[in-house]
Amino acid sequence: MNVYFDNAATTPLDKGVLSKMLPYMEEGFGNPSSIHKKGREIKAAIEKSRSKIADLLSCEPGEIFFTSGGTEADNMFMINTVVEKKINTIITTKLEHHAVLHCCEYLKNRYNTQIKFVKTDDLGEVDFDDLDNVLRENQNSLVSLMHGNNEIGNINDIEKISNICAQYGVIFHSDTVQTMGHYKLNLNEINIHGVVGSAHKFHGPKGIGFLYLNNNHKISPFIHGGSQERNMRGGTENVYGIIGLSEAMSVAVSDMNNHSKKILSIKKHMIEKLKEKVNGIKFNGLSNVLDKSLYTILNVSIPNIEDQQMFLFNLDINNIAASAGSACTSGSDTGSHVLKEIKTFDKHAAIRFSFSKYNTIDEVNYVVDKIVEISNI
């Protein structure tokens, strides 16, 4: 059996999405900036995709800007906002994705921007009283707090955060890469200035994403050299990527109820089997609390395993793909910055399993049996 339980890193491309992309790889090769028929047809397809995404998020098409992915979108929003709005302070947590934290480091080093970290507890929950206190003392601020944590799966209440930010009149951005296409977002009802999406997290192609930029929040282009994306991002558009993104988003939203129920049942079954068969199993963050974590992520600490990488290697040779955390930091010797900030367990290997609509209960049973076998439990 081959099991892919690393869907938080990337997801398999939906075959229906691929079929929508193929015509734009073959016949639909026109440059959307060209004024002839070939170019106009492609430009129309891009704008149709933009409108489709806007409809799914209850926002305006003019608020959607295509990027190479979530990381670029986070950088585009944060860097240009801080520089142009002369923001003094970024308020965030130490549990954010590096797309946000490394932006903070860059802005601190380049522009002397202050970075204030909101307190989080041993399970990774944000201390809202501390957020309120930090905002009271730093009102010329940008708040950046993720919607769903990519390692431990904790869900932040971005509606509550947006209301707190609105109370102080500060700018609010959220890295929504792990929730986009998995949870419904009505941007018309949330007081938020920027969110991001990345197609390959919801069965779309790699190398394409978008930034939602609220109409009331204006920034300058991030990439220069052309008038594409209404003068906001120079460079010829990734046409078939955009087509794939909009189709993947449409499929994800239309089938969300069925897919979420199926994936949640898989996660729930894995929690139960691990408790039953692995003595001393621990769960990191809130990943085992079903109503407070992403239904796609389960982060576990397996007892009596000190060599995490060897354990992952043993899973791999048994045809099981999982991870120790963010794929963006794989190969690094620094370990997970998220797990360092929360309560973890000595002599336990922390492993992230993440699920998709293509996984099955049988795969869970196989993985748990292999964990027991490898661990000699």
Q: Would you list the DSSP string of 2-25?
A: -EE-BTTT--PPPHHHHHHHHHHH
Please name which of 125, 10, 156, 6 lies closest in space to residue 70, comparing C-alpha atoms. 10
- For the chain, give the mean pLDDT: 95
Residue 190 to residues 174, 184, 361: CA-CA distances in angstroms?
Answer: 11, 12, 36
Instruction: Tell me the backbone φ, ψ of residue 10, rounded to 5 degrees.
Output: -165, 160
- pLDDT mean over 70-74: 98
pLDDT digits (tens, 9 = 90+) for 14-69: 999 999 999 999 999 999 999 999 999 999 999 999 999 999 999 999 999 999 99
Q: Among residues of the chain, what percentage have pLDDT more than 90?
A: 91
For the chain, the domains span 3-11+256-375, 15-254
- Type of residue numbered 63: E
What pLDDT is recorded for position 12? Answer: 98
d(CA 74, CA 223): 13
| Pure H helices in 150-255 | 158-168, 228-231, 239-254
Alpha-carbon 42 to chain mean position: 28
pLDDT digits (tens, 9 = 90+) for 81-129: 999 999 999 999 999 999 999 999 999 999 999 999 999 999 999 999 9
For residue 326, pLDDT beyond 70 = no
For residue 376, pLDDT beyond 90 = no
For residue 355, pLDDT beyond 70 = yes
In sequence order, the 6+-apart residues with CB closer than 8 A to the CB of 196 are 67, 70, 73, 74, 77, 175, 176, 177, 180, 209, 210, 211, 212
- pLDDT mean over 185-213: 97
For residue 330, pLDDT beyond 90 = no
CA-based torsion, 117, 70, 107, 88: positive or negative = negative
What pLDDT is recorded for position 343? Answer: 79
In sequence order, the 6+-apart residues with CB closer than 8 A to the CB of 218 are none
pLDDT digits (tens, 9 = 90+) for 211-248: 999 999 999 998 999 999 998 999 999 999 999 999 99
Contact 302, 281 (CB under 8 A): yes
d(CA 174, CA 264): 24
d(CA 3, CA 129): 42
Q: Which residues are catalytic?
A: 328
Instruction: Tell me the backbone φ, ψ of residue 91, rounded to 5 degrees.
Output: -110, 120
Q: Among residues of the chain, what percentage have pLDDT more than 70?
A: 97
Please name which of 327, 337, 342, 339 lies closest in space to residue 104, comparing C-alpha atoms. 337
Instruction: Tell me the backbone φ, ψ of residue 351, rounded to 5 degrees.
Output: -125, 135
Strand 89-92 versus strand 64-67 pairing type:
unpaired
Structure tokens at 342: 């929360």
Q: Would you list the DSSP string of 310-343?
A: HHHHHHHHTTEE-BSS-GGGTT-SS--HHHHHS-
- pLDDT mean over 242-270: 98
What pLDDT is recorded for position 195? Answer: 98
CATH topology for the 15-254 domain: Aspartate Aminotransferase; domain 2 (3.40.640)
Q: What is the CATH number of domain 3-11+256-375?
A: 3.90.1150.10
- pLDDT mean over 149-170: 97
For residue 325, pLDDT beyond 70 = no
Please name which of 142, 13, 150, 3 lies closest in space to residue 70, comparing C-alpha atoms. 150
| Pure H helices in the chain | 15-26, 37-57, 70-84, 98-111, 128-137, 158-168, 228-231, 239-254, 256-277, 308-317, 337-341, 361-375
d(CA 4, CA 25): 28
Q: Which residue has the higher pLDDT, 346 or 7?
A: 7
Residue 210: helix, strand or coil by DSSP? Answer: strand
Residue 218 Ramachandran class (φ > 0 left, ψ -120 to 50 alpha, else beta): beta
d(CA 262, CA 91): 36
What pLDDT is recorded for position 304? Answer: 84
Same fold? 3-11+256-375, 15-254: no
Contact 208, 199 (CB under 8 A): yes
Contact 177, 196 (CB under 8 A): yes
- Residue with tokens 């949330």, as numbered in its chain: 190
What pLDDT is recorded for position 323? Answer: 94
pLDDT tier at 72 (50, 70, 90 boundaries)? very high
Q: What is the pTM of this model?
A: 0.94
